[in-house]
Structure 1
Amino acid sequence: AAVPLEDPLSVLFGLHGKTGVTSVTCRGDYIYSTGRDGCYRQLRLRDQQLEVLQKHRPCKGLQWIEELRFTPGGDLLVLGFHANNFVVWSTRSGVNLHCVPCGGGHRSWSYHSSPEADAFAFIKRGDVMLYHSEAEPCEQRVLLASLHGREITCVRHLGAVRAPGCRPINVFITGSEDTTACVLTLSELTRAAVPLARLSDHISSVRALALAGTALHHGTQLCSLLFSAGGRAQIECYRLQCAVDLRAEGMVNCQVTHLASHRLDEHWDRMKNRHKLVKMDPETRYMSLSVVCGTNSEQLPVPCTFLVAACSDGSVRLFVLLEAAQKLLLVAESFHHQRCVLKVEAFLHTWAEEERKHLLCSAATDGSIAFWDITTALCTAVLTEPLLPALGTPLLTVMAHSCGVNSLHIQELPKGRFLVASGSDDGSIHVCLLEVTQGGDEAKPETCLHILERVARPCTHAAHVTGIRVLRPDLVLSASVDQQLTLWRLSWDSLEELSTTFFYVPDLAELDCWEVVEAGGERCWYCVLCGQGLELLRCAALDTHCNLQSQGAVQ
């Protein structure tokens, strides 16, 4: 009897572009598809609907992917065509295992792999051709696998998970000039970095990372939103779910779901009345990202996450993520600085009446630091994008340095006060005490900002200060391209050097810190530094002395 045809349960149109899908493979709970767009995608079935989790681009130049092969050893082989060659690409080692001249695609072919030999048969000009390669002992040995193909430009500490009876495992995200971002674990015991997932959606360098809504469940699971941005005016958004898995190499399993993306050239193509505006530069680089916290307010029409970006074209841009609709929209911008904006940092102030004020700090290449009130911009964000509103003007501008501000950090203090620390290209450090007050009349109150105290110290480092953190109201940590990590005691008449240590990472790009309460109740800080490598250090600041100690480095 004939089997009746049924309508498909789920359809994804244009998943691999106009060139179409070449193969579909099921592996465990996931579905993998390949196409002639040079990508393969990971999908899953949820409520009888196909959901795209992630897109992978295995290597540059491989524009035609035909098939995926999962090896018994856990490697994933990508079979495809690059120009006139048949290519077998190993995702584990990141190299071509085979490259056979065959004339390119559009031909019948077959590939077989075994521990003893590999064979590739194909038809060329009506003849059956056979390529045969016997297994040979590899003369090359990888002594230390690299995390990235080029320097690491940014790093964020996602959190730590703990398996029963084991030490906590720290999870990090790194971005690089090689256009990828990597989720990895860095062990204090083995001093080894184990990649958990690689994100390859960017077409240019990844220069900035930001995390939102990070949550730790039962000590064994981490969940967070990840924003990555960089060259070619591109922002990508993912949801990360990391869980303890004793069978995995790094003892952590990471599931990545791609949520949304944004590029200025695509935004420009969708804009109405664009002939009246100055064209956006598609070569803009995003230098820094900051998530706006505490926006779950009744004033907003839908649940959303706001993101602020510092841009090389002189603008500060505000984006909104609509996770349910999987859209990332540009909703406001300002060109106040008129030069490359290097850093942005969003912070929140709450009045006694539970009224929230969302504030923003931005820093540029001229050494200026501007403070904004973006509360109105958040509440009146136009989600349909008919015209792009202005972000407003700063409430206060401070000339903190003589040249570019390459590091910035803000720590909240009681009574509406904030410590704002910054480091510059000229090696100087600037710290100011900012107070937020309410002015104007009762009918229309206004936010007022005042600088109460300032302290600046020139020549604290011999090179650019690319990392700074306020650990406590009296402690500031700075890191520089001169490969020195220095702990300072802050008072309003001086910065006193307490301790200095040298680290191993050249060309330092960024620093991230977090506080840990250890078993004996001792409070200490860990910091991770990135550049030409990655290094983890421990900082213990006691009443009598300070100790900076390296916990491991990966070059």
Structure 2
Amino acid sequence: MFNSLCLQTDVTCIEIIDKHVFAGIGGFLHIYQLPNNNLIKRLKIFEGQKIYGIKPNLNLSKLIIFGGKHISLTSCPQGNFEEIEKSTHHILSDWILAVKWIENDNKIATVFMHNKLTIWNKDFLKEISVKCEERCILYSAHICYDSHKELLILSGTVFSEVLLWKPLNSHENKCSPVLKRLKEHNGVIFSIDYNPDNGLICATSDDRSAVLWKMTSTNPQDIQINKLCQVYEHLARIFRCLILKECFITVGEDSLIIVWDFNGSLLRKIETHQGGAVWSLGYNKNLDVICSGGNDGAITTFRVNPKVVKDYSSLPNREIPKIVGLLRAGNMICLSEKAVLYYHDVIWQEVARYPDLQKYCILQISPCKRLFALAGFDGQIYIYRENHLINKFFLQHKSRIFAFHWLDCNRFLVTQKDGILILYFIFNNTINFIQSFIFPSSKERWPTCACALNDHIILGDRKGNIYNFKIGHESPINTQKKSHSYLGVTYLYFENNLIISLGRDGFIKRYKLSNNNLECIDSNKTKFSWLVGLENNLLLSFSGDNFVVSDFKFQRILFETKCGGGHRSWDYVTNSKSIIFSFIKQKIIHTCQLNMEDFMPKDVIEGFHVREINALKVLKLSEDYHLVISGGEDTILRLSIAQFNRIKILETFKIHLSSIRAINYYKLNINKYLLITAGGRAQIICWQIEIQDEKISCIEKCNFYESVSQEEGETRIMHLCIANIHEQLYLFAGRSDGLIKIFSISTDMNLKLENSISHSNHCISNLALIKGGVNIDLLASMATDGNLKFWSISDICYNQSNEALNFFKIHQSGITSFSYILKDDRLITLTGGDDNCISLTLFGIHKQNSFISLAKINVDQNFAIHCAQITGAFLLNGYFITSSIDQRIVISKWLYKDNEVKFSMLEKYDTAIADPQGLEAILDKRSLYLYIFGNGIECVKVNI
């Protein structure tokens, strides 16, 4: 009845086998083919248990898969991974920490949490068990060597030691003495790795360090182990380590993957999983790639140590560089402190000397990176193409040029005293005047960046304002005041007829021109502060004294280098595959050249939410093609497509100030939707979603939140409902203070507060609109007091009445989920609560004139179907589905007859999603698609 289509949650295990990534996600084994990342097999191994280890035999005909106390042997005919199938399944008496094939794959060794080794034959029948004399709890273990006689066990204890013991040394009581104790950590040992090729041991701990040892002798009587290094760079606990031929790798709770050499020097630091923990790590020697799995559900591959070409150069004649720039082909220009212009192709060549630019000079390179200009204090402008002067020009008044900005490769804008802007055009290497503008008054009256779109010129200043000028008008048509913080706007450009601005406040904002006015349509907050460029999803910024290249979509650092900060002279040039960055430091010109294909991680599975998902809605676009809208504790709103066993992220928006608690939508027409998201700080954001030929766009329309005094606590929006009443849209927002705020929604998607009603002094957990029958328009509200209240929508919206029609005590504590069916004058409600109770309640509705009354007729309740609070409920004719924190999805059958309702459990399914927060259902013919969300998301198809 249940068929899991897609699962995205913690990736707890990764093994790379013969150009295939084997991943344990929940209780499912996923097999992906490299390098195209196609999913070739998905097999359920465990029910209600995660996979923590995958071990193949030598000829790849069998796999051992284990997790918790469960272990499974799977067969793989002739090494064909598409034909892999589960063969045997065993539940052992203790938690399994390590498994290894030994004796040429004829036996299996397992190490358990209580420091015990068991050897099994190939049919998984026990042959021998040996305990270490140190009886303690282990958090990690590693089995060294392949034969029973040579087996060496490395045990990671809870009291900071790594124990070395040999099972062959066991006494008559089947206890083996400890041969060596490695005492360098100050916390539990989370992982241990051993590389037999170089004799190195690595252990990691919750003391945020990793220790590397060299084992020089394996003589049981005299094992020699020397400490090589102990490294500290992680910001939280280190969960995994891996020793390679020339380096070792550590990953942890801080989302960092760090590559070290054997002396403890940091080679590379990568952030891969959106700030979430990295749970698993794999390596393929033939492909030279590392694969990591994290709690954002992503599986990512990357090169271990991509090459960075670094160069250092000095100017001839001991000249001191002052301003540096890069041209299209990577050729460099530099103006020295003595105002000597140099050009670098293979070597530095002197181009010209400009004594008039020695005290003051502006150097600006055109967007095409083929032209550059030198501008000075007396209005002089020198324009070059590569190293050839094509024009020398003086402004009419020969006054100081405060700013020079290229708009494109033919037009440039010059700023003079009193905010006078002059636009020029280059034609046949001659400079022609177009128009002058007046820049608005400010403390520093010149723009910091500029771009042009058609006949509009967009300028940003040092106070974060953005100005919209139009050719033919002297003053700005409109201004986006304080679009960025007081630190200023750093970069402007246009893309797909939209203007994009970057600032030193870490925001990226998009604008459109509507009736010649500049309108902000959305903004994104990055975790970086000083943004300087966005090129093909590569975000360039400064953080402290580092230049940082990061992946904008997933906010992960790809490369960083110390450059002294953005206040120095620097420049960069990009193409489809590489970035060249140049800067001046300690009177030397430094250059870094990166092949970004080597630096960019490749996602086998794209990351989803890194923290708990609180709210989720699904739009059915076509058969098996759904738009998933989700938000949660990470404050990020995501739009994704669920199709063919995968979830593909379309867009992410980090605009909410606090967690997203509620999402709802309303269909405006065949391809346009109103989307409303809300959450912490009582913030409500209205969006417009437009769907055209599978192209989906989402634009922010309204951002509403109430300011509160310091004495008041922050209020959260817990649930949302949207209703169309007499061609007017209304929004009902249930809050944590027990109030329901009622807003009218204008045609341009702005909110206006119309009324406020009080459910109680308890936090509202759910709202629902009940529409149907003969003019039945009700609002149902539920809260943590266990009461279900009914309101007349007409009364609370038009008559400003704050009185409920009736209320009923349904649960002992909070009502967490709700669904209903309306049959004529009978209302059947399905509710789930914090009290573990499922309640099916029958109400009678009586309507006389405009007065509506409700009465409870019958109720059937069950406390035993779930063993934790209910989080989701969906009611169908004859069936209903519930979800709970106990990770159980239950289908129950119900019957309504003779004014009585009864139900009984039919079938259950254990989801891999931890802490499920809700259930969203899409009904399609005879199939039902369930989306269970919490710490991840799972899509399950139910055949009813």
TM range (shorter): 0.7 to 0.9
1:228 positional shift: 1.0
Indicate yes or no: 2:755 matched with 1:332. yes
Aligned to 1:530: 933
Q: Is the 8 A contact 1:21 1:34 kept in 2?
A: yes
Over 3 Å counting, the alpha-carbon distance change for 1:83 and 1:334 in structure 2 is farther
Structure-1 residue corresponding to 2:847: 438
Residues 121 and 128 in structure 1, CA contact (< 8 A), matched pair in contact too: no
Cα pair distance change 1:493/1:411, threshold 3 Å: closer
The Cα offsets for residues 190-244 of structure 1, whole Å up to 9 and x where unpaired, read as x1110111121112111211111254x4xxxx42111111122211111111333
1:96 and 2:506 aligned: no
Pairing partner for 1:239 from 688, 709, 712: 688
Query: Aligned residue for 2:730?
Result: 306
Give, in angstroms, the shift of residue 95 of structure 1: 0.8
The aligned amino acid for 2:637 is A
3-state SS of the aligned residue for 2:876?
A: strand
Q: Separation in 2 of the partners of 1:380 and 1:83?
A: 58
Q: Does 1:33 align with 2:452?
A: no
Pairing 1:223-372 to 2, within 5 Å after superposition: 223-244=672-693, 252-265=694-707, 281=713, 283-291=714-722, 293-297=723-727, 303=728, 305-324=729-748, 326-349=749-772, 351=774, 356=775, 358-372=777-791
Instruction: Write the distance in 2 (CA, Å) between the matches of 1:428 and 1:503.
Output: 20
Does 1:402 find its partner at 2:812? yes
1:42 counterpart (510, 522, 525): 510
Q: What is the DSSP-based 3-state SS (H/G/I as helix, E as strand, rest coil) of the residue aligned with 2:480?
A: coil
Give distance in 1, aligned partners of 2:909 and 2:494: 51
**Which has the higher mean CA deviation after the structures are superposed, 406-415 or 113-122?**
113-122
1:429 aligns with 2:802: no
- 2:725 aligns to what SS in structure 1? coil
Indicate how the Cα distance of structure 1 residues 116 and 196 shifts in structure 2: closer, same or farther if over 3 A, else same: closer
What is the Cα deviation at residue 139 of structure 1? Answer: 10
Secondary structure (helix, strand or coil) at the match of 1:507 reads strand
Q: What 5-or-longer segments of structure 1 have no aligned partner?
A: 71-75, 162-166, 245-251, 270-277, 298-302, 382-390, 518-522, 542-555
Contact between 1:159 and 1:170, CA under 8 Å: does it hold in 2? yes
Tell me by how many angstroms 1:374 deviates: 3.1
Q: Which residue does the alignment assign to 1:182?
A: 638
Tell me the CA shift for residue 28 of structure 1.
2.4
Where structure 2 has 5 or more consecutive residues not aligned to the other structure, the ranges are 1-431, 437-471
Call closer, same or farther: CA 1:213–1:93 in 2, change over 3 Å: closer
Distance 1:85 1:322 in 2: 46
Aligned partner of 2:483: which letter? L
Pairing 1:67–2:67 present: no
Instruction: Establish whether residue 470 from structure 1 lines up as the match of residue 844 from structure 2.
Output: no
The aligned residue for residue 488 of structure 1 is 892
- Residues 184, 411 of structure 1: CA spacing in aligned structure 2 closer, same or farther, 3 A cutoff? same
Q: In the alignment, residue 288 of structure 1 is paired with which amino acid?
A: H
Judge conservation of contact 1:308–1:319 (CA < 8 Å) in 2: yes
Q: TM-score, normalised by structure 2?
A: 0.47
1:448-467 aligned within 5 A: 448-467=853-872
Q: In percent, how many aligned pairs have the same letter?
A: 25
For 1:310, the aligned partner's letter is: G
Q: 1:142 to 1:69 in 2, by over 3 A?
A: closer
Q: In 1, Cα distance between the equivalents of 2:600 and 2:487?
A: 39
Greater share of residues in strand: 2
In 1: Cα distance, 2:772 partner to 2:833 partner: 26
SS where residue 225 of structure 1 aligns? strand
* 2:606–2:648 Cα contact (<8 Å) kept: no
Tell me, yes or no, if structure 1 residue 155 matches structure 2 residue 574. no
Q: CA deviation at 1:349?
A: 4.4
Worse overlay, 91-100 or 8-17: 8-17
1:242/1:423 CA distance change after superposition, 3 Å? same
| Contact 1:457-1:494 within 8 A present in 2 as well | no
- Whether the 8 Å CA contact 1:290–1:309 is kept in 2: the answer is yes
Runs of 4+ deviating beyond 6 Å: none
Matched position secondary structure for 1:3: strand
Shift of residue 82 of structure 1?
Answer: 2.8
Does the CA-based 8 Å contact 1:117-1:132 persist in structure 2? no
Which string of whole-angstrom CA distances, capped at 9 and with x for unpartnered residues, describes residues 425-482 of structure 1? 222111222333334xx6xx4222222332222222111110101112x321111122
Question: What's the CA shift string for 1:471-515, capped at 9, x where partnerless?
Answer: 12x321111122222111223353112222222222111111122
Aligned partners of 1:183, 1:140: CA distance in 2, in Å?
22
Contact 1:119 1:130 in 2 (8 A): no
Distance 1:320 1:116, change over 3 A: closer
> 1:272 is matched with which residue?
none
The one-letter code of the counterpart of 1:122 is F
In 2: Cα distance, 1:537 partner to 1:527 partner: 5
Task: Assess, with a 3 A threshold, how the Cα gap between structure 1 residues 208 and 139 changes in structure 2: closer, same or farther.
Answer: closer
Tell me how far apart the structure 2 counterparts of residues 308 and 510 of structure 1 sit (CA, whole Å): 20
Amino acid at match of 1:111: Y
**Does the aligned pair in 2 maintain the 1:176–1:207 contact within 8 Å?**
yes
Aligned 8 A contact 1:311 1:341 in 2: yes
Query: CA-to-partner distance for each residue in 1:140-191, whole Å, 9 max, x for gaps?
Result: 7644332112122221111223xxxxx542111111211101111111x3x1
Q: Does the alignment pair 1:193 with 2:647?
A: yes
Q: Distance in 1 between matches of 2:508 and 2:918?
A: 32
1:144 corresponding residue in structure 2: 605
Indicate how the Cα distance of structure 1 residues 322 and 124 shifts in structure 2: closer, same or farther if over 3 A, else same: farther
Displacement of 1:332 in angstroms is 2.3
Indicate conservation of the 8 Å contact 2:724/2:730, yes or no: no
1-side partners of 2:860 and 2:515: how far apart?
58
**Equivalent pair of 1:52/1:257 in contact (CA under 8 Å):** no
Which of the numbers 118, 130, 133 marks the counterpart of 2:590? 130
Distance in structure 2 (CA, Å) of the matches to 1:379 and 1:86: 58
> Are the counterparts in 1 of residues 741 and 753 from structure 2 also a CA contact under 8 Å?
yes
Q: Contact between 2:840 and 2:902, CA under 8 Å: does it hold in 1? A: no
Q: CA 1:108–1:393 in 2, change beyond 3 Å: closer, same or farther?
A: farther
Structure 2 equivalent of residue 392 of structure 1: 802
Aligned to 2:58: none
Distance 1:115 1:438 in 2: 68
- How far does residue 257 in structure 1 lie from its aligned partner after superposition? 0.9
Distance 2:942 2:721 in 1: 25
Partner of 2:540: 79
SS of the residue corresponding to residue 797 of structure 2 reads helix
The total of aligned residue pairs comes to 471
TM-score normalized with structure 1 length: 0.78
Q: Is the 8 A contact 2:531 2:542 kept in 1?
A: yes
Distance 1:279 1:323 in 2: 36
> What code does the residue aligned with 1:181 have?
L
The amino acid of 1:228's aligned partner reads T
One-letter code aligned to 2:725: T
Alpha carbons 2:758, 2:802 under 8 Å: kept: no
Q: Is the 8 A contact 1:107 1:123 kept in 2?
A: yes
Report the CA distance between 1:103 and its aligned residue.
Answer: 4.3
Is the partner of 1:14 in helix, strand or coil?
Answer: coil
Map 1:493-508 onto structure 2 (within 5 A): 493-508=901-916
Give the conservation status (yes or no) of the 8 Å contact 2:533–2:539: yes
Q: Distance in 2 between matches of 1:168 and 1:342?
A: 31
Q: 1:294 to 1:434 in 2, by over 3 A?
A: farther
Instruction: Out of 5-14 and 35-44, give the one that drifted further.
Output: 5-14
Deviating more after overlay: 100-109 vs 460-469:
100-109
Q: 1:128 offset after TM fit, Å? A: 5.3
Residues in 2 aligned to 1:449 and 1:107: alpha-carbon distance in whole angstroms: 73
Deviation per residue, 1:328-375 (Å, 9 max, x gap): 233322333211111111222463xxxx45321111112221111231
**Higher gyration radius (CA):** 2
Question: How many Å apart are 1:49 and its aligned residue?
Answer: 3.3
